[in-house]
Amino acid sequence: MEKKQGIFKEFQSAYRINPGVALALLWVTVMPSVGSFSALPILINYSENLQNLVFSDYLVAISYLVLVTVLMGMALMPTTLVAGLSGFIFGWEAFPFLFLAYNIASILGYGWGKKLGGNSLDLILDKYPKAKTLIASKRNRMGELVFFGRLSPVLPFAVSNLLFSLLHVGWKRLVLFGSIGMLPRTILTFWAGTLGTDVYSAINQESISGKAWIFLLLLVLSLWGIWRFLKRN
């Protein structure tokens, strides 16, 4: 109970310092689930029609790029769900556009997070000088944190965008290290989608055996990398 009260007090403190950041955190936590539940019935009903679309049609390619960029960048749908559905509906011809959309969405999410956040993290960390000193000492190695953060299969894309914006990692580091870090799980999820026989099997990745071990490996690597980032001088 005391721990929960402590977390609630910290949230209240963050809200007093910058209500925008607190509301943004609530948004990136809740909205991807809301968007998923809203979109799935539509996708199930129209998946066959969507599968007839081809990316050789520039209008289709551009429309897909804009749509998935907004969905991911504004935290309206989880990136793993977008990747799985893209693989199932469109196949591998959509992957380059998904990769591009992912990076544009990273910049979009980082941009609005930075605009809302300002120097909120510094104000919050004023109460924790050791943590503030630790983060300041890692400024030149933020790319490492971005890479392992993106590699993690449990750290949501939208949440990490907000976190990276508060840390001011820089959009160049975000794109470079983030695009590399996200590739393993994105390729795996996209590949599972291409093997799916329906929407549910695509998003649940039922077609790939041993996927639990792969995600466990990515999780262990990401945790090790983040721990190394924090401990290494």
Look up residue 91 and give its DSSP letter: -
Write down the pLDDT at residue 16. 65
Give the model's confidence band at 128: pLDDT under 50 very low, under 70 low, under 90 confident, else very high.
low
Q: Give tens-digit pLDDT for 166-179.
A: 888 889 999 999 99
Q: Are 218 and 184 in contact (CB under 8 A)?
A: yes
Can you tell me the mean pLDDT for 129-133? 66
**Pick from 35-49, 118-132, 134-148: least confident:** 118-132
CA pair distance 198, 195, nearest whole angstrom: 9
Q: Phi and psi dihedrals of 76, rounded to 5?
A: -95, -10
Residue 117 has pLDDT above 70, yes or no: no
Can you tell me the mean pLDDT for 114-137? 66
CA pair distance 66, 74, nearest whole angstrom: 12
**H or E element in which residue 23 lies:** helix 19-51
Q: Most distant CA pair in the chain: distance in Å?
A: 58
Q: Give tens-digit pLDDT for 2-38.
A: 444 444 555 556 556 667 777 788 888 899 999 888 8
Give the model's confidence band at 41: pLDDT under 50 very low, under 70 low, under 90 confident, else very high.
confident
**Pick from 15-29, 93-107, 213-227: least confident:** 15-29
CA pair distance 204, 218, nearest whole angstrom: 18
Give the model's confidence band at 209: pLDDT under 50 very low, under 70 low, under 90 confident, else very high.
low
Q: To which residue do tokens 């544009």 refer?
A: 104
Write down the pLDDT at residue 206. 58
Q: To which residue do tokens 């998935």 refer?
A: 68
In the chain, what are the helix, strand and coil shares in percent, each to the nearest 5? 85, 0, 15
Give the model's confidence band at 180: pLDDT under 50 very low, under 70 low, under 90 confident, else very high.
very high
CA pair distance 160, 7, nearest whole angstrom: 19
Write down the pLDDT at residue 57. 87
Nearest to 102 by CA among 158, 169, 148: 158
Taking the alpha carbons of 114, 115, 116, 120 in that order, is the dihedral positive or negative?
A: positive
Average pLDDT, whole number, for the chain? Answer: 83
Phi-psi region of 15 (alpha: psi -120 to 50; beta: other; left: phi over 0): alpha
| Prediction pTM value | 0.84
